[in-house]
Amino acid sequence: MSAPAAVLPHLVIAVSPAPDRSAKDDTPAPRPDRPGRVAGRRGDRLPEPVPADPSQEAARRRTFAIISHPDAGKTTLTEKFLLYGGALTSEAGSVKAKGARRSATSDWMELEQKRGISITSTVLQFPYRDHVINLLDTPGHRDFSEDTYRVLAAADAAVMVLDAAKGIEPQTLKLFEVCRERDMPLLTFINKWDRPGRDPLELLDEIEAQIGVHPAPVTWPVGIAGDFRGVIDRRTGDFIRFTRTAGGATEAGEELLAPDEAAEREGEAWTAATGELELLEATGADVDEESFLAGISTPVYFGSALTNFGVRLMLDGVVDLAPAPAPRVDVKDEPRPLDAPFSGFVFKVQANMDRAHRDRLAFFRVCSGRFERGMVVTIDRTGRPFATKYAQQVFGQDRETVEEAWPGDVVGLVNATDVRIGDTLWVDQPVTFAGIPSFAPELFWVARAKDTSRFKQFRSGISQLDEEGVVQVLRDPEIGDQAPVLAAVGQMQFEVAAHRLENEFGAPVELSPTSYTVARRTDAESEPALKSMRGVDVLRRADGTRLALFESSYWLARVEGDHPELVLERLVAEGGS
């Protein structure tokens, strides 16, 4: 972002271009009522201050994640949400591909910008319709589904973005399955309807068959994919006709037409669309709040993030349908009331977001009460106090100090070195929320520093990537960090680890594959017997967890059959489980 960010009540949003410093008048320019304001929007103002009540503040928040497979347009849709929220004034979506190119707001990592995909999760906050929107952008590749799983632990709902031409792709189905595992309320945005694509009814059938949720269209396209005229709002029967804007840099023009007028102007396209709607009516594909909140059905919206068609309706759907933050259940299965003293849950750790300072941020979601910067919280895992002097809210790569936050908000703690993913933070009244389990790794590679003189940097980088969950680091206590085994769900995790070790920590690495293909959790009593077997090794995570590695699932099955007394526990999200 070219300009600094301004701190407004409970928000951090981007500021419109800085005033001309060449002007003779030295009087400071007045702060705009709404930085980045887009004129002509319904509800186009910042949320009005309300009494400091956690329940009331929580009711105004919508905290959701956005997931998709690569190239479905997730990053573009994310930036268009910011545009409609007034947090971007230009260079949203397609604008970044022209003239003075800049990186997507949510894709801040250098490797993301080079490869054009989302590798890390990102936190963005902006105002919309008197609400505070907390958008958690997730990686767009199945190799990073574990990071998506962690982000979903901090979200109340998710928006699934699908390419109208590709639908649900097999190699990325795991991302959506992760969402289903958490019973997450799911909204669907079928994107790129301005380009040639598949039949809309066929896409609905695929959603139900592949993911197992019932699609319930809220809007329906008029015009086949590639000839997008607008959408019918099924709730009212009205036709919303879209008008293109230059480069998609401003909100799409919308014209509201009654059915009779729409039929006259759109002809065969309208007739085809209404015929399809009759089929939907016959099957009872209507939005049902109860089944949506239970993760059984998914409201569906059609649009084009590139041209901004349907973006407002999708964002309205988030506000109208996604649940507000609710009391979080602790390990005793007891809900923590929103009005209870402060508590928070750490779901992400990220280093080197600010390359100038090489710092480390621990992101937590506020679960109850009011967070105030400087308050001393207790880290439940260790029982140690921690002063939250350096608390920030993040807008892509830009940051601002946050003075207070409420349930549903996400805050980053700078250089909170004692805080780990899955930690619970609390004040006054102790509470423990369930942690975030690690996924079952499928690939195991040995890492060695190419330059032994850079071993200190290598060891530091390996530990940091382990804390962030970029890869799982497994060690043999007798060898230590000389040749740790990096365990991952997908190949690209190794590419990211190697890139960051070299470019962020100055420690080029050599990675070599091992013969191991499957892991099980074990214990100290079983370790000696397992280590004595051919084709088996036992390594440890930083938290002391022991993982038994096997060269094949066949050999694992044989060991389990011959030695039922050994502890060999399956891990989360394991293939075939």
Instruction: Give the β-pairing of 214-217 and 297-302.
Output: parallel
Q: Is 451 annotated as a binding residue?
A: no
Q: Is 49 annotated as a binding residue?
A: no
Please state, in angstroms and rounded to a whole number, the distance separating the CA atoms of residues 18 and 11. Answer: 19
Please state, in angstroms and rounded to a whole number, the distance separating the CA atoms of residues 346 and 27. Answer: 43
Assigned token pair, 560: 């389990």
Q: Is 71 annotated as a binding residue?
A: yes
Q: Is residue 309 left, alpha or beta, with left meaning phi > 0 and alpha meaning psi from -120 to 50? A: beta
Q: Is 450 annotated as a binding residue?
A: no
Q: Is 70 annotated as a binding residue?
A: yes
Please state, in angstroms and rounded to a whole number, the distance separating the CA atoms of residues 180 and 477. Answer: 37
Q: Is 498 annotated as a binding residue?
A: no
| In contact, 215 and 207? CB cutoff 8 Å | yes
The residue among 564, 570, 565 whose CA lies nearest residue 550 is 570
Q: Is 74 annotated as a binding residue?
A: yes
Its sign, for the CA torsion 78, 80, 313, 218, is negative
Helix spans in 60-128 (H): 74-84, 110-115
Assigned token pair, 414: 């700078």
Residue keyed to tokens 């907390």: 134
Assigned token pair, 447: 């890492």
| In contact, 473 and 486? CB cutoff 8 Å | yes
Q: Is 139 annotated as a binding residue?
A: yes
Q: Is 357 annotated as a binding residue?
A: no
Q: What is the DSSP letter of 246?
A: G
- DSSP letters spanning 141-183: SGGGHHHHHHHHTT-SEEEEEEETTTBS-GGGHHHHHHHHHTT
Q: Is 138 annotated as a binding residue?
A: yes
The residue among 287, 288, 260, 286 whose CA lies nearest residue 274 is 260
Please state, in angstroms and rounded to a whole number, the distance separating the CA atoms of residues 382 and 379. Answer: 6
Q: Is 69 annotated as a binding residue?
A: yes
CB neighbour list of residue 439: distance below 8 Å, 6 or more residues apart: 145, 146, 149, 489, 571, 572, 573, 574
- Per the annotation, binding residues for GTP are 68-75, 137-141
Could you tell me which residues are annotated as the binding site? 68-75, 137-141
